Amino acid sequence: MLDGDEIALFPLHTVLFPGGVLPLRIFESRYLDMVGECLREQKGFGVCAITSGHEVGRAAGCAAVGTLALIDDFDRTEDGQLAIVARGLRRFRMVHSRVQPNQLLRANVAWLDDSGDAPLPLQHRPMAQFLARLIRRAGAPYSAMTADYDSSAWVAGRLAELVPFALTDKQRLLEMDAPLERLEVIYGELLAEELSHHR
């Protein structure tokens, strides 16, 4: 994938991180078409946090940094909707976006560097233990993931997805390039009190 690639966007009231999973129910025609295109052409779509507007109806405003998602599984539900499970692959920054007549957003994107992983520091082991409890509680599809509790990027990403932080906090974490910085912010600003109750 090259900088300048064009991808379809799915603005949501959530933030997906590389390595994460995202179950979605698809019912709007624009997104059914998008999923069909992604499956036919074996390509992904961009997940971006909504900054203005709504998930349904007219195209929403969304954050400039998002995550490319690939569809791992799909099925039809009894009510005719499409259930998919998408996997976060890599982050991007929107360079230019446009709205199609059907209100589907498309954007040319620049890919961000996600190669800076690091081993989980010893002082952050309690965060990994806390995350393991969250994943057991969350069940599928998180419980079916291949876990990597030794990876700072993996632990930080899953905590950011599973802990009910404010959307603006999740987005701020996504925009950080260094996984260790994400971990420090998650612990120092967001999780320290919570973790102290689980010791």
pLDDT in tens, 94-117: 999 999 999 999 999 999 998 889
Nearest to residue 101, comparing CAs of 10, 53, 4, 30? 30
Q: Which residue has the tokens 């969304």?
A: 62
CATH topology of domain 5-111: 2.30.130
61-62 and 82-99: which strand pairing?
Answer: unpaired
CATH class of the domain comprising 122-196: mainly alpha
Strand, helix or coil for residue 112: coil
Position 1 confidence tier, pLDDT thresholds 50, 70, 90: low
> Where exactly does CATH 1.10.4060 map onto the chain?
122-196
Q: For residue 58, what are the CA distances in angstroms to 51, 52, 68?
A: 13, 11, 22
Return the higher-pLDDT residue of 181 and 190: 181
> Where exactly does CATH 2.30.130.40 map onto the chain?
5-111
pLDDT in tens, 22-80: 999 999 999 999 999 999 999 999 999 999 988 888 888 999 999 999 999 999 888 87
Position 162 confidence tier, pLDDT thresholds 50, 70, 90: very high
Task: Give CA–CA dist 94/62, Å, rounded.
Answer: 10
pLDDT for res 3 = 63
